[in-house]
Structure 1
Amino acid sequence: MPMKPLTRLDANFSASPQIDAEDLPDIKAAGFRSVICNRPDSEDGGTHADHHLLEEAAKKLGLEFAYLPIVPGQINATNIASFKTIVANLPAPTVGYCRLGIRSKTLYERSR
């Protein structure tokens, strides 16, 4: 199965819709070094992959992983500051994901 379509925002950051552990080898092969989850595990009743599972799979591949859950429509200044710090401390390039990729994209744009 091909990797999910990424929205490349610049050389160091791309946003993605929800990923699964099976996507991580392709993410690594595409040259990414870090992954940020911006989707709360409890969203949609937790029907998507739990971030702990993805973090464990990412680390086995040598990818860094961060969890900054954001409720849709509720991005605030604290979230943006946290995101900026996380991105600054992770090896680039980074892929951020949430349900559709919109929260990750918005966080990145607002953190610039």
Structure 2
Amino acid sequence: MVTPFDPNSHIISARAFATNLGITQAELAKLTGIDRHALYSRTDLLKLEEAVRPLMSILNLASEMTGPDQCAALWFKHQPFPSWAGKAAFDLVSERKAERVLAYLRSVQSGLYS
């Protein structure tokens, strides 16, 4: 599971999450809609936690279907979907459409799509 927590402190860490997902912290800011500088603020930890929650759900579901976290991260960033005009999950989340990705993954998981 890709984790947003610093392994040493068990406090949510934008740096750890971005590194585990294989993206830059600027990309994480874009995905979450949080200002890049706020990613490092202790006062914004709750905001960051709420923002990464949909990402965690997507990545957890994806890793159940793809296998190791690295495969889920690659799927998330690069797998285009014809029904989404060739966009990947990363693109949809960037457009604030994480719920569409979650709905798709849940339907795949339930066997509706394959």
User: In which range does the TM-score fall when normalised by the shorter chain?
Assistant: under 0.3
> Larger helix proportion, structure 1 or 2?
2
Give me the TM-score of the superposition, normalised by structure 2.
0.25
Give me the TM-score of the superposition, normalised by structure 1.
0.25
> Larger strand proportion, structure 1 or 2?
1
Structure number with greater CO (CA < 8 Å, separation at least 6) is 1
Larger Rg: 2
